[in-house]
Structure 1
Amino acid sequence: MPYRTNIDLPPAVRAHLPSHAQDIYREAFNHAFAAHAEDERQEEIAHRTAWAAVKRSYAKVGDRWEPLPHDH
């Protein structure tokens, strides 16, 4: 099911990701969930897509997710 706000995200996501990373996760999940409406693995695909989106901007350092440096 799509997530309206970050508060609706799974507890593991909320507990570990910074607020901005939660935004990325939620938006990617919702987009992928809608795009795969006919797939029986819709929710699994959406979660995998959301994590992939987060990992483009954040990296896990120890037990924390830190923003990746961006080239300017």
Structure 2
Amino acid sequence: MLIAVINSRWQTPLPTEENVTTPVDVYGYYGRWMLITRYRLGDAIVLARRAGALNLFVFPQDVDPRDGRL
């Protein structure tokens, strides 16, 4: 399982109490970026852990990897 937080203002792998409800986008990469869902950061981490072998990437909502500006 891979959990990555891309282009983020978060500096630690675990969110602080104030960031746990921050809205984020969860993407998968399967030859192209696919938006899987929008969640709060805390819920996105739970989803990624349950996803097992899937590679999920968590982005702040103002970053869209599909536009090629990572």
Identify whether the pair has TM-score above 0.5, normalized to the shorter chain. Answer: no
Which structure has the greater CA radius of gyration?
Answer: 1
**What is the TM-score of this pair, normalised by structure 1?**
0.25
Instruction: Kindly indicate which of the two structures has a greater share of residues assigned to strand.
Output: 2
Q: Tell which has more relative contact order, 1 or 2 (C-alpha 8 A, sep 6+).
A: 2
More helix by percentage = 1
